[in-house]
């Protein structure tokens, strides 16, 4: 059973503690780490369950559109992701994507867009996706080639997006494309594209080590009305980065959930596995590992809830969110690896909890900015802070 003393840290309020308790109880009753082999069906079902239970209300901002609050509460998002991740990686994924996929609309959408899209997302009636990456533009987002050319009251979209979570099952996709107002990052706009729009196809479904819906998207003379642009023309990079600033911290929280589950599993294993006339936990080598795992988790949690709290105070958290994501995902990988090692052969048996966690954590060190990208962000911010003031 996880140590929950972190819930008493000053970053969190009594409402946060109450929410974690209610969700944890709900998750124990309703979620299982094992899913149908059909990840699409499992994901649809989880969105339905999370929507019916009201949890998706926290993934969007705007009480008028079905949100729990007017402004997304980052600490709530983090607590929900951490708790869901402890119980089911796919449930965490389903929750996170509703938020990430509709985040641009919450933050920059028109009144009409908010009314049309946010309510069904918050209820679990519509599934959302966020389409930024391309085959030749992953870490280097500004290299994107997908373009949208205005033609009267429409934009005509051509190009590809890849690694798109919920690709193939989503009802709406927030797509970023080059609109050419300026070179590089300043010439990009965001659009919402409905599933089924003519000229929009799922070109390929992609299988990954921890199965979830993932696809490459193709746009061929795909016409969408100008009213589907999210935010101002040329501001798409800002839209994408602001959305990621909210959800990047929550990737750290999901990693924490996986790490806490791994530590729970390791504790149970270490204290029950008999060898050489005692238990695995009696060996100091094991104790050193357990100490390192617990300390890493607390350090990552402090960075995560610091970033979430700071954002909820209305502060800029580019550096803090990057520190949290970098530390929590890398730490979780080490914690899970150490836990798996304690299970010996059993650790690599398919669908054992630690084997599943080992597969689930891996992509978190890559998406929403790989570890190296987080390091660059942190260093850039440090150097900016250190630069002499211009006179």
Ligand X SMILES: Cc1cc2nc3c(=O)[nH]c(=O)nc-3n(C[C@H](O)[C@H](O)[C@H](O)COP(=O)(O)OP(=O)(O)OC[C@H]3O[C@@H](n4cnc5c(N)ncnc54)[C@H](O)[C@@H]3O)c2cc1C
Please give the DSSP secondary-structure letter assigned to residue 195: T
Specify whether the CB–CB gap between 224 and 157 falls below 8 A: yes
User: DSSP alpha helices (H): ranges in the chain?
Assistant: 14-30, 39-52, 74-87, 89-108, 111-113, 119-123, 236-272, 284-312, 318-342, 353-362, 371-386
Residue number of the CB atom closest to ligand X: 138
130 sits near ligand X (criterion: CB under 6 A) = yes
CB of 202 to ligand X, least distance (A): 14
372 sits near ligand X (criterion: CB under 6 A) = yes
370, burial (CB in 10 Å: exposed 0-12, middle 13-18, buried 19+): middle
Nearer to ligand X, 53 or 376 (CB): 376
Q: Which one of 157-165, 225-233, 241-249, 352-360 is the stretch in contact with ligand X (CB under 6 A)?
A: 157-165
Q: Cα(260)–Cα(257) distance, rounded to whole angstroms?
A: 5
Number of other CB atoms surrounding residue 211 within 10 Å: 17
139 sits near ligand X (criterion: CB under 6 A) = yes
Nearer to ligand X, 31 or 131 (CB): 131
Q: Cα(38)–Cα(11) distance, rounded to whole angstroms?
A: 39
Catalytic positions, written as ranges? 368
Q: Which one of 108-116, 146-154, 222-230, 369-377 is the stretch in contact with ligand X (CB under 6 A)?
A: 369-377
Nearer to ligand X, 199 or 211 (CB): 211
Q: Which one of 52-60, 107-115, 128-136, 223-231 is the stretch in contact with ligand X (CB under 6 A)?
A: 128-136
CB of 1 to ligand X, least distance (A): 30
Half-sphere exposure (Cβ direction) of 316: Cα atoms closer than 13 Å:
4
Q: Which of 61, 62, 66, 138 binds ligand X (CB under 6 A)?
A: 138
Binding mask 39-78 for ligand X (x = CB under 6 A): ----------------------------------------
CB of 362 to ligand X, least distance (A): 8
Q: Which one of 79-87, 146-154, 276-284, 362-370 is the stretch in contact with ligand X (CB under 6 A)?
A: 362-370
CB of 213 to ligand X, least distance (A): 10
Q: Cα(4)–Cα(210) distance, rounded to whole angstroms?
A: 27
Q: Are strands 147-151 and 188-194 parallel, antiparallel or unpaired?
A: unpaired
202 sits near ligand X (criterion: CB under 6 A) = no
Nearer to ligand X, 130 or 343 (CB): 130
CB of 366 to ligand X, least distance (A): 5
CB of 90 to ligand X, least distance (A): 12
Q: Cα(89)–Cα(193) distance, rounded to whole angstroms?
A: 27
Q: Closest Cα to residue 299, out of 333, 318, 327?
A: 327
Q: Which one of 40-48, 184-192, 299-307, 366-374 is the stretch in contact with ligand X (CB under 6 A)?
A: 366-374
Which residues, listed in sequence order, are joined to residue 204 by a DSSP beta bridge? 216
* Longest distance between any two alpha carbons in the chain, whole Å: 80
Nearer to ligand X, 85 or 214 (CB): 214
Helix (H) or strand (E) holding 218, with range, is strand 214-225
CB of 17 to ligand X, least distance (A): 31
Q: Cα(320)–Cα(104) distance, rounded to whole angstroms?
A: 21
**Would you tell me which residues interact with ligand X (CB under 6 A)?**
130-133, 138-139, 163-165, 208, 214, 363, 366-368, 370, 372-373, 376
């Amino acid at each position: 059973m996880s140590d929950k003393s972190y819930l008493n840290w000053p970053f969190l309020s009594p409402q946060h503690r109450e929410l974690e308790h209610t969700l944890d109880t709900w998750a124990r009753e309703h979620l299982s780490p094992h899913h149908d082999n059909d990840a699409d069906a499992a994901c649809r079902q989880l969105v339905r369950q999370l929507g019916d239970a009201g949890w998706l209300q926290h993934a969007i901002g705007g009480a008028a559109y079905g949100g729990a609050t007017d402004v997304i509460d980052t600490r709530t998002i983090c607590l929900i992701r951490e708790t869901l991740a402890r119980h089911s990686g796919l449930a965490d994924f389903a929750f996170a994507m509703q938020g990430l996929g509709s985040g641009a609309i919450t933050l920059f959408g028109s009144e009409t867009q908010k009314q049309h899209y946010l309510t069904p997302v918050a209820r679990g009636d519509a599934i959302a996706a966020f389409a930024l990456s391309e085959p030749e533009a992953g870490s280097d987002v500004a290299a994107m080639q997908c373009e949208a050319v205005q033609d009267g009251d429409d934009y005509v979209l051509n190009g590809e997006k890849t690694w798109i979570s919920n690709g193939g099952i989503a009802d709406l996709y927030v797509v970023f494309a080059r609109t050419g107002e300026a070179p590089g990052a300043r010439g990009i706009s965001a659009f919402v594209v409905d599933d089924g729009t003519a000229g929009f196809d799922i070109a390929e479904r992609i299988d990954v080590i921890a199965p979830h819906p993932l696809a490459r998207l193709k746009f061929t003379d795909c016409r969408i009305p100008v009213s589907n642009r999210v935010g101002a023309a040329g501001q798409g990079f800002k839209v994408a980065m602001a959305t990621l600033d909210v959800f990047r911290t929550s990737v750290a929280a999901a990693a924490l959930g996986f790490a806490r589950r791994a530590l729970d599993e390791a504790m149970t294993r270490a204290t029950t596995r008999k060898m050489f006339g005692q238990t695995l936990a009696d060996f100091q080598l094991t104790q050193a590992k357990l100490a390192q795992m617990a300390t890493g988790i607390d350090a990552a949690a402090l960075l995560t809830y610091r970033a979430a709290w700071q954002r909820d105070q209305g502060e800029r958290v580019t550096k803090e969110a990057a520190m949290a994501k970098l530390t929590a995902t890398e730490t979780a990988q080490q914690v899970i690896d150490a836990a798996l090692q304690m299970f010996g052969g059993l650790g690599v048996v398919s669908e054992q909890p630690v084997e599943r966690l080992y597969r689930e954590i891996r992509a978190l060190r890559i998406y929403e900015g790989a570890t190296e990208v987080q390091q660059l962000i942190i260093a850039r911010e440090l150097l900016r802070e250190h630069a002499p003031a211009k006179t």
